[in-house]
Structure 1
Amino acid sequence: MSLDQILRRKAGRIISRPPTTPVSEIVNLMRAENIGAVVIVRIDGSVAGIISEREIVAALNKHGSAAMQLFSRDIMITDLPQVRPDEKIHNVMTMMTLSRMRHVPVVDGRNLVGVLSIGDIVAARLDETNMENAVLRDMALSHLAAA
């Protein structure tokens, strides 16, 4: 299964904000949308970075309540992996594990086409595993019935 297939199944809107968005707005957005990260995009639509709960907690630890007055560009992670829609799940799982990222932007060229969480990836992999198990079970039953 490719990321493109997961994105189509997910069929959600892409929530992103520009680098000038106040952190307080990012926090409110994450709470309102019940999401764990917001992709930060430049005016041209390319990915500038990402803000997750981890970056917000780090900013609060460093700046206290003044962190809410900062801008997304001040706390976002800029050195983040990005993946293409045709990437395989296994490769993305490995990359997310090694980079310790729980959210990854999916880009087609320079354009953001979606965001996937580790939960999305694990759910898709479980679906694949369940399908593989069902096929193997059916093959075993067919083989036994033929014998």
Structure 2
Amino acid sequence: MKTAGEIIKNKSLYFAKSGDTVFEVAKLMAEKNIGAVPVLSNDGKLIGIFSERDLLKRVVAKGLNPMNVKVDDVMTIEIMLAFEDESYEECLAKMKKAGIRHLPVVDKSNNLIGMLSLRDLMDISLDEKTEKIEMLHAYIYYRPPLEEKE
């Protein structure tokens, strides 16, 4: 079963920095086709996460100008984390329980190493279930080779 660390191993990590405007962050998210970014302090520590939901609920719905609003003021600060050695099923359970679609992944020293999306986890789940179905199908319909008569 794949772990969070294995899933994010070859993925690029995009992030926002404290002080960035919502416009800058939204532009990055649109360019990279991602739904959320971790927000890092000036010393590289994870301080929040900014998602499409934050943009809609905390900026657009309130009539704020994304060019003037700092991401620090509208990001989510109560962050749920995934640890690199957690299974994808554990991460999926965390997302489901919290009603979220993105999880920052940290290493044993709590350093940010990547981001998981619900789509990442659903793809893994689908791949594993497809493999299991194929194995069961092969088992159920196995036909031993016919013995040749001389």
Paired residue secondary structure (1:105): strand
Gaps of 5+ in 2: 146-150
In structure 1, what is the equivalent of residue 140 of structure 2?
Answer: 140
Kept in 2: contact 1:47–1:110 (CA 8 A): no
1:68 aligned counterpart, secondary structure: coil
Secondary structure of 2:82's counterpart equals coil
The 8 Å contact of residues 21 and 66 in structure 2, kept in 1 or not, is answered as: no
- Aligned mates of 1:139, 1:123 — CA distance in 2: 24
**Which protein has the larger Cα radius of gyration, Structure 1 or Structure 2?**
2
1:5 aligns with 2:9: no
- Partners of 2:139 and 2:114 in 1: CA distance: 37
> Given that residues 45 and 110 in structure 1 are in contact (C-alpha distance below 8 angstroms), is that contact kept between their aligned partners in structure 2?
no
Q: Over aligned residue pairs, what C-alpha RMSD do you find? A: 1.6
State the one-letter code of the partner of 2:138.
D
TM-score relative to the length of structure 2: 0.87
Structure 2 partner of 1:129:
129
Query: For this pair of structures, how many residues does the alignment match?
Result: 142
Instruction: Report the counterpart of residue 56 of structure 1 in structure 2.
Output: 55
| Counterpart-to-counterpart distance in 1, 2:64 and 2:8 | 36
Alignment of 1:67-86 (within 5 A): 67-86=66-85
CA apart distance, 1:140: 2.4
Contact 1:17 1:41 in 2 (8 A): yes
CA shift, 1:28, in A, is: 0.9
Match of 2:148 in 1: none
Aligned-residue identity in percent: 29
Asked whether the equivalents of residues 46 and 110 of structure 1 are also in contact (C-alpha less than 8 Å), the reply is no
Kindly report which structure 2 residues correspond to 1:95-106, keeping only aligned pairs within 5 A, or say none: 95-106=94-105
Moved over 3 A (4+): none
Distance 1:45 1:126 in 2: 34
Matches of 2:44 and 2:111 in 1, distance apart? Answer: 6
Given that 2:18 and 2:42 are in contact with CA atoms closer than 8 Å, whether structure 1 keeps it comes out as no
Please give the TM-score of this superposition, normalised by the length of structure 1: 0.88
In structure 1, what is the Cα distance between the partners aligned to 2:119 and 2:31? Answer: 19
Aligned to 1:32: 31
